Chains A and B, each alone.
Chain A
Amino acid sequence: MAKKILIVDDSPSIRQMVSFTLTTAGYQIDEAADGKQGLTKAQAGSYGLIFTDQNMPVMDGLTMIRSLRALPAYKTVPILMLTTESGDEMKSQGRAAGASGWLVKPFDPQKLLDVVKRVMP
């Protein structure tokens, strides 16, 4: 059975759309509304893949990734940024923080599924 996927985004509609796309493809999804919630959920559960937004209240995506990478359980788990941010400077910050990839919104559901299959075979 495929591992669960965590989606961290403050936008309920994005969470809804990612969940819809992935659940119809047979994946199990958990949601968190900001980086702090995401961190808590990730620590409490076990996920095979995490999607996160950058700009969120309380804790942003990059900070969450840095915190997650400090945990032994999430050293190698793929964490993908899913954000409207598309600047090269931001992307290199993401790379430095330990993100596994960068997806610029809006996402194409089919491309999203292709990426999930690639990073979580």
Chain B
Amino acid sequence: MSWKLSLVASAVVLAVVGAGIGKLASSPFVGLAFAFAVFVMLAIFIADRVIRDEIAESKNTRHKDGETLNKEARNFFSSLRSLLVNQSEYMDGEASRLQNIIGDAIGKLITSFNELHVLLQKQLSIASELTAQHADSAHDDRSFQYLVTQVSDVLSQFVEATAHTSTASTELAERMDLIREKVDSISGILDEINGIAGQTNLLALNAAIEAARAGDAGRGFAVVADEVRALSGRSAGFAENIRVLMLEVNTAVRETESALGRLAKRDVSFTLQSKQQVENAMQALEGGNQQIVQVVKQMAGISQQVDVQINSAITAMQFQDMSHQLLEHLRKRLNGFREMGESSARAVDKNQHGDWASMRSVLQECSAQLEALEHVPVRQRNVGSGDVELF
């Protein structure tokens, strides 16, 4: 306001002074010209002051504004810093834990798959051992097929032997029958001998009587007649002995006959039936055996398929290496963020008078650091197996 007052005051003073000079010079023009010249000078002077005042005032305001801004920026950057640092640390910790968990799990998974593979190989070798044993069955003494053939052969021989025994028994029984007939006819002959002995005895007795009648002349004849009687008695005794023995022979022959009859009667069909049963059982076993061979072969095939699956699992499990590297890269970026937070906070602390140039250099430094992370080690988008190129 002061410049307006001084402008009015100086205008009044100039009017008075100009009038006086006009009177002194007795020319109103001179007075007017002087007053105008002085007015212009005054106006320049006042304008200068005014501009200086304005500049000073504006400087003052700007300084105050700058201070306020600086303070707010410091607060803002301080909060931003703690936010960035804390969050980056949390994220880094979480990423690191994720890396550890995946790493731990993958280690165990690989060990499991390793074991699985080893067990499968064992299974496969057992299976191929089994199939190899059966492959050459016709020539191998230990093979099941060989055993079946052997048992069947032995059984056939056994059946044949049993049939032979049966036939022989029948023949023997017939012969025994003949023997019994002969023994019976011997008994008839013995009866005749007994009769002859009896007649001889009678004749001897008659001879003795006739000898006694003849007196001395027949004495010699009497001795002969006694001897003949004694001989007939002995003949009868022998015949009796023979009869007793023949009876015993007859009994033995009858017993033999009946035993042979039983033997001959024994049914060959039973043996044949048994042979058939054993052969059936063997065939069933052989069939089962063939089935086992088939199953073992299928098992071997499955083992190979599982092996293929294990291989693709191994390819897929390499996701851990890729994830690990990507997480590592992510952590580097996070670290970059944290650094940026820290550096800007430090820059704000140092430059309390709004020196933005150093702030800009901090930002440039940080973005340079982050640009170095532009090369990402993993570009894959899935876990499909990678290319192979031989130079």
Contacts and interface: CB of A to CB of B under 8 A. Distances in A.
B318 interface: yes
B390 A84 contact: no
Contact of B315 (A16, A108, A118): A108
B107 A13 contact: yes
B391 to A, nearest CB: 5
A24 B115 CA distance: 11
B216 interface: no
B114 interface: yes
A106 B386 contact: yes
B388 A20 contact: no
Contact of B314 (A20, A91, A99, A119): A20
A111 B388 contact: yes
Contacts of A73: none
B103 interface: yes
A40 interface: no
B390 A106 contact: no
Interface in B306-335: 311-312, 314-322, 324-325
Given A13-B110, A108-B311, A86 B390 contact: no
Contacts of B388: 101-104, 111, 115
Contacts of B103: 12-13
B316 to A, nearest CB: 7
B387 A86 contact: yes
Interface in B96-113: 103, 106-107, 110-111, 113
B378 interface: yes
B189 to A, nearest CB: 99
A109 B386 contact: no
Contact of B321 (A13, A94, A108): A13
B379 A87 contact: yes
Most buried by A among B317, B378, B385, B388: B388
B380 A109 contact: no
A105 B321 contact: yes
Interface string B162-200: 000000000000000000000000000000000000000
Interface in A44-77: 54-55
In this complex, the member of A94, A101, A105, A118 whose beta carbon has the largest number of chain B beta carbons within 10 angstroms is A105
A95 interface: yes
B243 interface: no
Contacts of A94: 391
Contacts of B390: 100-101, 115, 118-119
A28 interface: no
A11 interface: yes
Give the contact-size bracket for chain A.
20 to 34
Contacts of B324: 11
B136 interface: no
B386 A13 contact: no
A106 B318 CA distance: 6
B117 A84 contact: no
A109 B117 CA distance: 13
Nearest to A78: B390
A105 B386 contact: yes
B315 A107 contact: yes
Contacts of A108: 311-312, 315, 385
A46 to B, nearest CB: 22
B93 interface: no
Nearest to B312: A108
Interface of B: 103, 106-107, 110-111, 113-114, 117, 121, 311-312, 314-322, 324-325, 377-380, 383-391
Interface of A: 11-14, 16-17, 20-21, 24, 54-55, 84-87, 91, 94-95, 99-111, 115, 118-119
19 contacts: A13-B103, A13-B106, A13-B110, A16-B110, A17-B317, A20-B114, A24-B121, A84-B378, A84-B379, A86-B379, A100-B391, A101-B388, A105-B380, A106-B315, A106-B380, A107-B315, A108-B315, A109-B314, A109-B315
